[in-house]
C-alpha cells in the first residue's frame, strides 16, 4: 500500500488531513516525516512459487444475520469433497481490509479439502459483514461488532456451521485471527484448533499516531468524513477505489512478489470497492475501530489464555512490512502458541502462496487430528 496522510496536531480538536491513500488499508510499515506523515512502501522480490490449483465442489449461499435493527445478508462458500464418510469442518475467515474477500482462501481450501487421509475435511469461507460479497450497511463497525458476528455465525441454531461444540477448527488471516483468538479467550466460541495466518492487531493510523484522546478525536472526524453521503464517496473514490491504486498497493506490500499480482486480482478487488456501502467498514479499520486489542501485551495475552485449551498454529511470513512482522515475531515461542512457522509472502500468503500455506495448515491438522477418524 502507498498511503500518505498528513496530520497537523494542534490544541483544537480540528483535524487537518492532506491524504493520498493509494490502495486498501492493511497494517503496514511506515516512515515518519515532519509534520506527522504516514508513508508506507515496501518492495520485496521473492522467487515465484507455483501453486496447485486444486478445485473442489463449491456451494455458495447467503445467511441472514440479525444485528440490532439490521438484517444483513452474509455471503459464504462451502468447499467439500464428495464422499460418503462424515467430514470435519474448517471455518476460514478472510483478512480484514477494504478489499477483503472469500477469494483469498479459495485455493488453499480446495487444496486441503481434496487431500486424502484419515480425516475428510470440508471448508466454509465467509465474508465479514461490511466486506466482500456480504451486505455493507451503514453502521458503527468496531471489533465488538465483528466478534458478535463471528460468534453468531458459529453458534446460531439456524447458521451454516453444522458442527458440534468444541469440534470446529478456525483459520483466520490478519485481524481476523486476533478476533477469533479474542472470542475464544472469552469462551464465546470453543474451537478445536486455531490457525493464525499473518496475524495483526493494529490499524494503520493508531499504530503510528497512538490512541490518546486528541488523536481519537481526529480519527472520529476522519471516520465521519468517509461516511458522509456525498463527500465520503468522493474521498473514497479518489483515494482508494481505482485500479492503479489497488495494483500499486498489492505490489508494494500485500504480496511479496509483484509478478504474482495479476490483472484478474486487481479487477476483482476493484469491483469490491464499487459495492454499495463499500467505504463504511474501511473507515473504521483505518482509524483503529476494528483493533481487537490496543497493545502487544494484550495481543500476546489473547494467545496465552488458550494455553492447554486450544492448539494454535501461527503462520508468519518472510516479507511482511516491518511493523506487522514485529508483531508476528512476538508470537514465536510465546505462551499459547503450539507451533510457529514462516512461509514466503507478505500480508496475504494464503492467496499468494496457497500451496505452501495449505501444506503448513494440513501438517498442523495431521499432527493434532489425524487419529480422530
Q: CB neighbours of 326 closer than 8 A, spacing ≥ 6?
A: none
Cα 351 to Cα 363: distance, rounded to the nearest angstrom: 18
Would you tell me the crossing angle of helices 231-239 and 213-227 to the nearest 10 degrees?
A: 100
For the ranges 1-15, 263-277, 295-309, the lowest mean pLDDT is seen at 1-15
**Residue 169 host element (H or E):** strand 169-173
Cα 307 to Cα 239: distance, rounded to the nearest angstrom: 43
For the ranges 9-13, 95-99, 192-196, 345-349, the lowest mean pLDDT is seen at 9-13
CA 15 to chain centre: 28
Cα dihedral sign, 24-27-30-35: positive
Question: How do residues 205-242 score in pLDDT, each as one tens digit?
Answer: 887 787 888 888 888 888 888 888 889 888 888 777 88
Closest CA to 26 of 257, 244, 198, 268: 198
Cα 99 to Cα 25: distance, rounded to the nearest angstrom: 8
Give percent above pLDDT 90 in the chain. Answer: 63
Amino acid at each position: 500500500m502507498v498511503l500518505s496522510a498528513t496530520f497537523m496536531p494542534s490544541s483544537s480538536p480540528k483535524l487537518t488531513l492532506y491524504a493520498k491513500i493509494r490502495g486498501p488499508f492493511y497494517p503496514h510499515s511506515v516512515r515518519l516525516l515532519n509534520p506527522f506523515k504516514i508513508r508506507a512502501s515496501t518492495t520485496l522480490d521473492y522467487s515465484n512459487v507455483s501453486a496447485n490449483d486444486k478445485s473442489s465442489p463449491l456451494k455458495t449461499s447467503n445467511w441472514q444475520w440479525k444485528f440490532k435493527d439490521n438484517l444483513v445478508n452474509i455471503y459464504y462458500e462451502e468447499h467439500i469433497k464428495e464422499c460418503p464418510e462424515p467430514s470435519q469442518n474448517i471455518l476460514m475467515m478472510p483478512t480484514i481490509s477494504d478489499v477483503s474477500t472469500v477469494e483469498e482462501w479459495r485455493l488453499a481450501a480446495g487444496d486441503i479439502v481434496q487431500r486424502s487421509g484419515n480425516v475428510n475435511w470440508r471448508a466454509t469461507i465467509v465474508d465479514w459483514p461490511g466486506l466482500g460479497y456480504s451486505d455493507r450497511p451503514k453502521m458503527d463497525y468496531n471489533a465488538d461488532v465483528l466478534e458478535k458476528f463471528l460468534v453468531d455465525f458459529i453458534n446460531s441454531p439456524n447458521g451454516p456451521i453444522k458442527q458440534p461444540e468444541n469440534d470446529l477448527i478456525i483459520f483466520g488471516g490478519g485481524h481476523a485471527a486476533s478476533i477469533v483468538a479474542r472470542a475464544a479467550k472469552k469462551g464465546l466460541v470453543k474451537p478445536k484448533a486455531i490457525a493464525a495466518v499473518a496475524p495483526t492487531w493494529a490499524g494503520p493510523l493508531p499504530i503510528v499516531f497512538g490512541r490518546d484522546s486528541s488523536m481519537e478525536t481526529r480519527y472520529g472526524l476522519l471516520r465521519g468524513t468517509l461516511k458522509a453521503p456525498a463527500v465520503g464517496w468522493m474521498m473514497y473514490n479518489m483515494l482508494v477505489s481505482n485500479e492503479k491504486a489497488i495494483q500499486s498497493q498489492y505490489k508494494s506490500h500485500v504480496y511479496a512478489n509483484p509478478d504474482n499480482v495479476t490483472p484478474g486480482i486487481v479487477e476483482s478487488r476493484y469491483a469490491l470497492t464499487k459495492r454499495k456501502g463499500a467505504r463504511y467498514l474501511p473507515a473504521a479499520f483505518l482509524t483503529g475501530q476494528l483493533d481487537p486489542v490496543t497493545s502487544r501485551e494484550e495481543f500476546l495475552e489473547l494467545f496465552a489464555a488458550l494455553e492447554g485449551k486450544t492448539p494454535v498454529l501461527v503462520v508468519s511470513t518472510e516479507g511482511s512490512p516491518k511493523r506487522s512482522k514485529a508483531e508476528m515475531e512476538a508470537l514465536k515461542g510465546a505462551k499459547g502458541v503450539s507451533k510457529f512457522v514462516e512461509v514466503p509472502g507478505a500480508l496475504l500468503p494464503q492467496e499468494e502462496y496457497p500451496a505452501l500455506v495449505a501444506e503448513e495448515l494440513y501438517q498442523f491438522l495431521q499432527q493434532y487430528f489425524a487419529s480422530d477418524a
